[in-house]
Every structure is written in structure tokens, then in C-alpha cells.
A and B are shown apart, each in its own frame.
Chain A
């Protein structure tokens, strides 16, 4: 990695202001604001690194300026590079990366809304996180904004992109939907039933979770992390716990690593089962949906029996895993997983022979590989479009290094491919659980933790059921949490839906949406 710094120094001279290895896998490079775009492009285009996400932080009380962090991954050597840019003084602008890397679009707008820094040259600088009823000049993620401050509502109007022409009309859907789902607005422009454009508008459930985490202790933080996205509790908690552990340079016991794999995979299975069932229900094949719901319920009960929580909550803690699995539980787990697998097998075989069902999901909602790459799509959605990425394999964490599994990849990018990826992953997860349970080393599952080190930062990451989930945590002078950034897979994947629905018809939207199954809460935070 030294080489990367040298190359950058050669290219950008003294505008590379310093670099240091923050954690084992994290190289931080300080860089001048004016060259951050060419440097980012150089890392992506020449060194073939992957741009993951960018975020801001208010470090005015420590170094007198705002920071921007651009996170890249270099998976050949399992390393992360973070470019850090200072935004100082009166000039609160920063150059926009979105024209070159469209995946920075939402992230830069989020920084604009929450920190009041302005992305210069952004192609679409409209509000994103804070809607028009939020007053100008109030930036909630700045340190001087008091969290429980009552904010007056103001009038304002959001302007949607318009498609004009003969017979083109708009269909507004949401934010309040039928059924028990979260709020989000979808604006279709369509001619007849064909969708010409979809614009999504989210962040109705923005709760300022990242800000809430500031100043909290580690157990409280994990509690919050579990509630970011209800059905990805384990993934978020693990990512946050890993960030804390890396920050302290602290190793959890090997048994805990394996236990985390078991929990993460249990979560993946029930999520994927629910997704497949959801797609089947949305095309009105009630029989299949009911059978899959039944299989999922068996899994939830297994979760409850093992951990006391159907959503596997409260198990992941800073320092390991709260409750160990006894030998009796292990036996029960393997036996139940075996039964569930047989059940799942039979159901899938029935489903795959229903031609009317297959007709609905084939060639529906195609997402092209180029779109996924440009917008930074992750998880099963990316893998269904031929993008072969999986953090479990590319940047192994917990005990994944020691376990064997395959990463299913399909190329078509339609609803069927996404379902196939999820189904294959369920089988891999069964295998992983079996391997992890049988190959688990003896020992303790949790150790005493140490207080957080002051003025340090670290990245934690997990391949959640929906894709890559990152938690970045920085501490202040007293070792309390100064900034908590959550990059959820839903935030990365939501923009893809605008492309998935093109060339499709309005009544096929629900099934496309379901096949992606993105979280509103995880997106809005």
C-alpha cells in the first residue's frame, strides 16, 4: 500500500498532505480539496480500486474544519483507502464527484443537506434527506445543532422531473401505502401502462440515527444499530461491533467469530425466504407464498429457540457474542436446518414448474450490469446482473476466511435472476451454518472489552442479506463516539429501481420492487 501513496505523491506532489495506516486494513490519505476528483478518478480508473461511499464529518472542535471521507476498496490486497479532504474556513464548497461517479449523487446531496457543505458542479443539487419543509440554514449533523431542538416547518415545494408529451401522465404513489410497509414516494411518468420514468423520493423516516449514536457508549450504539433496519439487525450490529473492535485493535475469540457467521447466515436465510415468498405473493400465486411463509416461520422459531429473539437481536455485542450455543442447541440447529432445507427444496421444485409464475418473473425488471456498476449497486441485485462481488469472499470478516462457500452470480439481471441468486444463497447459507457449527473451536464466546481509544476511527463491514453494509466510527478526545456513519445497502441500491422499471409496465412495478426488497428505514436512517 505504500506504493499507492508514492504513486499519488508522484502525480499530485505536495497536495497529498500526509498518510497513515489508521487500522490494519485502512490507509488514510490526506489530500487537498482541489485534487480530490482527479485523485479519486485515478484510484478508480487507473488503479482499479472500487469507490464505496463518501461522507462528511464535523471536526471543527478538533481540527477546526469539516472533513470529507472518500472510501475505496482494494480487494486484491484486502485493504481500504480513505481519502480525507478538509473543508475549511468561509468556503464551504467541495468539488462534486457525481459527474464522474454517479453513485456519489445521493451521498453528496446528503452531505449538502446535513452538513451544509455545497457540492460544486453537482448535476442535481435538489434536497434529498431533508424535505422542503425543513428550514434553510439548519444543518442537523453539525455539532452545534442540538439534537432535540424543535424545528419549525416551512413551506416549500419539491420539483419532480417531468416527462411531457401526448398521453403522458403522472402516477403519484405513496408515501402512505396499502399494506404494512414503510413510507416512500414513487412518481411514475407513463404513457398508457408503459413506464417512461420513475422518480423515487424517500427519507420520510429519517431519524438522525447517526447523530443519535454520537456520545453514546458501545452497547447503546449496538442497540441502535440493530434497529436501523429491522430484518438486518445482525448485519448492522456486526458491522458496528467490528468497527468498534477494529478501532480498539481488539480480537474477539475465535468461537465468537464462528457464532457470528451462524447468526449472519440465519438472518440471510430468513430474509431471502421472505423475499422469494414476497415475489410469489405479488404475482398472486398464493399457494407458493403461503408455503414459503411457513418455511420462514420455522426459521424464525428456530431463531427464537436459539437466541430468545425471532430477529436474532441482542446477540452481537462489543467483544463477541452474548450467548454461546450449547451442544444440545447445536444438534437441534443442525437437525432443524436439515428439515427446513428439505421443505424449501420441495417448495422450490413446485414453484419452478408453474409456468404462469415463471412467465411473470422472466425478463421483468432487467437491470443492466453497467447501471449496477455506475450506481454502485451491491448484494444479490448486483450479483443477479453479473457483478461478481461479495464482501464475505473479497474482504473476509468474522470466520468466513476459514469456511468454504460459493458466490452465485447470474447475468440476466431480471426478477428471476434475483430470485435465483437468493435461492442459491440460501443453499450456501445452509452449508455455511453446518460447517460453522461443526467446525466451531471450543472456548469462550465473549471477552471483557476495553474502553474506546481516543481520536481514532475504523471501518466495519458486513455482507448483509441486502448487500454491503458499512459502519464507520470515529472517537473524540475522551474516547466517546464523535461520528457514526452508516452506509446501508438499501441506500446504495434504491436508485437502481429507477432503471429497473424502464421498459416495464406499471402493474409489474410491485413485483420488481419486491424482488429488490430494499429497506426504507435502512435507507433513511
Chain B
């Protein structure tokens, strides 16, 4: 198989990811009678961070230093498993859905450790919150993958995308809607968005994700931020490509690839609009209410799986 389109996919993820964050910011800004940042701003912010020097606590151990690299490379490997504009991926193999989930967990594990590493007040608080919530989000994510895999008959993301691509919209709606609900909630949680976490706050006591990276600056912070944007992008890609698989190119088709990526961008920005819409219309949940929301995701995933077991394929 020609590896060039697959590599192009990963490059697309890495380059376009920040612009999805920009798009959500823009939607929020327009609800607040503001103009919002230009598209260039998100990239120049990253560039600025890469150029800036770092301030690192002298209490920091090696964990603090390796975390950004582990996080970023884990996310990068995960990115190479997700089909973006055609029904294939660079590292796709059967069972890669499980690896996908745990690559993200690996990054999170090191992030929680690094937050504890410098011994600051807010880092530990962020770690404990992140771990509590991910212990609820992770099984829900796995279960929704299992629900999809049961229907598709394969645990590879590539396989699921191809399977759903060959189904009629009604069938996807019937089998996929519950799992879609579950994964949408998990996407909100994993990308640290309202109503679970507020990426724009300065109030350390309310932070989850941001609290863990308060000690980071410069290049490390850039890697973390970028990795986070890619992660958010991957979740959105999964949602659009599994549940709205139309317009995906077949592997190897030259001109169709271009059309495929165009379709993909339209889909992903529309979904990001939904995320932005949710952010505009809700306040952040009370921290102790977040488990309820994640429990809903879990229940949706379970019902999706059980439903299929009962109805059969």
C-alpha cells in the first residue's frame, strides 16, 4: 500500500488541529459581541511558546522533563491510527482501538505524575481531579468502542470506519446513536471543555487540565498545548468518521483523496461548531456533578452494547 496518503493524514492532523481550537474560540467570541482571534493567532501562539525560554522549578525531576515528549509522541502515534480522509491509517491493525485508548492514558498518566512532581498546590489538585474523572471516562470510552466493534465485527478503528461507511444512514442512526452520545460526552471531557472544564479560566481552584500544566512554560508548554489540540482533533475525527462516514475516499484513490479531505474538513468544523454551541449555552458543572454526566456516557455505551447483543447484528 502506498504510505504517502497515510503520512499525509498524520500531517493534516498535526497542522489543522490548532485551527479547530481557533474555530471554537471564534464561536464563543461571536456570542460575546467580540471579534475573536485571527486564525494566524493560534499558530503564532504556539510558535511564540516554542521560541520562549523556560522557567523550571529546581525541584523538578526527570518526569517533569520527559512528560511533554511522552505526551506528544503518544498523541502522535494515536493520530497515525485514525483514518482522516480515507478509509485507512498509517499504523492501523486489528485491535488498535484499545491501543488508541491506552496511548492517551499513557500521556495522561505522565501528566498527572509531572503535575505532582514539583509539589505545588494546584498541580496535585489537578492530578487528583483528572484521575477521578478519567477513571469514569475511560471505561465509558472503551465500552463505546466495544459497542461499535461488536457491530463492525472488528476492534480496529480503520475496520469500524470502513464498516460504518458501507452502512445506510438509518442503520448508523439505529446502532450508533447511543454510542455517539457517549463518545460526544467523552470528547468534551477529554478535551477539557465546558461543561466539564473551562480552558479559559484563570481560577486555579476550579481547574482540572490547566491546573496540571501550570508549572510548564516555553517549549514544553507548546508541546503540551499542541498535543492537547491534536487529542481534541482526534476525538472529533473519530466522531465524524465513524458516525458520519460519508465522503471518505477509498484507499489509494488519487483525486478522490482531495475531495475526501475537503469533506472531512467541512464535517469536523461543523462538529466543532456543535462543541462551541454547547460551550456558549451552558455554565460549567459543579465538580461533583461531572461524574453524573460521565455516568450518562457510561450508561449510553452499556445500553448501546447490550441493545446490540439482544437484537443481534
Q: Which A residues are within 8 Å of any B CB, using their own CB? A: 171-173, 178-179, 192-193, 280, 282-287, 289-291, 294, 354, 356-357, 359-360, 364, 505-510
Contacts and interface: CB of A to CB of B under 8 A. Distances in A.
A360 B203 contact: no
B57 to A, nearest CB: 16
Contacts of A280: 283
Contacts of B285: 356, 359-360
Nearest to B198: A284
Contact of B284 (A173, A178, A284, A289): A284
Contacts of B203: 178-179, 282, 510
Contacts of A507: 205-206, 286-287
Contacts of A294: 33
Nearest to B204: A178
17 contacts: A172-B121, A283-B283, A284-B198, A284-B200, A286-B31, A286-B200, A286-B279, A290-B31, A291-B32, A354-B281, A356-B283, A357-B283, A360-B283, A360-B285, A507-B206, A507-B286, A510-B203
Given A178-B204, A290-B34, A294-B33, A359 B286 contact: yes
Interface in B192-219: 194-195, 198, 200-206
A171 B129 CA distance: 15
B32 A287 contact: yes
Interface in B255-299: 279-289
Given A172-B121, A290-B32, A290-B33, A285 B202 contact: no
Given A171-B205, A179-B203, A505-B287, 11 more contacts: A171-B121, A173-B121, A179-B202, A284-B200, A286-B28, A287-B32, A290-B32, A294-B33, A354-B282, A359-B285, A507-B286
A360 B34 CA distance: 26
Interface of B: 28, 31-34, 121, 125, 128-129, 194-195, 198, 200-206, 279-289
Nearest to B34: A290
A282 B289 CA distance: 16
Given A356-B285, A506-B125, A286 B204 contact: no
Contact of B283 (A173, A285, A506, A509): A285
Nearest to A510: B203
A192 B203 CA distance: 18
A505 B206 CA distance: 10
Contacts of A364: 286
Contacts of A286: 28, 31-32, 200, 279-280
Pick the 4 closest A-B CB pairs, nearest first.
Answer: A290-B32, A284-B284, A285-B283, A284-B198
A512 B204 CA distance: 14
Contacts, number: 82
A505 B28 CA distance: 28
Contacts of B34: 290
Nearest to B279: A286
A509 B205 contact: yes
A193 B202 contact: no
Given A171-B121, A286-B31, A294-B33, A359 B205 contact: no
B204 A193 contact: no
Contacts of B128: 192
Interface core residue of B129, B198, B203, B282 (most chain A CB under 10 Å): B203
Contacts of B129: 193
A284 B31 contact: no
A173 B205 CA distance: 9
| Residue from B129, B201, B286 having most chain A Cβ neighbours under 10 A | B286
A360 B284 CA distance: 8
Contacts of A171: 121, 125, 205
A286 B203 CA distance: 14
Nearest to B195: A356
A179 B200 CA distance: 12
Contacts of A509: 205
A284 B204 contact: no
Interface centre among A283, A356, A357, A507 (most CB of B within 10 A): A507
A99 B204 CA distance: 36
A79 to B, nearest CB: 45
Contacts of A289: 32
A350 to B, nearest CB: 10
A180 to B, nearest CB: 9
Interface centre among A171, A193, A284, A356, by most B CB within 10 Å?
A: A284
A193 B288 contact: yes
Nearest to B124: A169
A81 B287 CA distance: 49
Contacts of B287: 193, 505, 507-508
Contacts of A287: 31-32, 280-281
A446 to B, nearest CB: 40
A90 B141 CA distance: 75
Nearest to A357: B283
Given A286-B28, A290-B31, A505-B288, A354 B204 contact: no
Contacts of A360: 283-286
Nearest to A511: B206
B288 to A, nearest CB: 6
B41 to A, nearest CB: 18
A289 B202 CA distance: 15
A284 B280 CA distance: 9
Contacts of B28: 286
A511 B33 CA distance: 24
Interface centre among B121, B125, B283, B288 (most CB of A within 10 A): B283
B286 A508 contact: yes
Contact of A510 (B206, B279, B288): B206
Nearest to A288: B283
A173 B204 CA distance: 9
Contact of A354 (B121, B201, B205, B283): B283
Contacts of B200: 284, 286
A285 B125 contact: no
Between A286, A359, A505, A506, the greatest number of chain B beta carbons within 10 A of the residue's beta carbon is seen for A286
Contacts of B281: 287, 354
B278 to A, nearest CB: 10
A31 to B, nearest CB: 47
Contacts of B206: 282, 507, 510
Contacts of B279: 286
A283 B203 CA distance: 10
Instruction: Tell which of A283, A290, A291, A294 has the most Cβ of chain B within 10 Å.
Output: A283
A58 B288 CA distance: 53
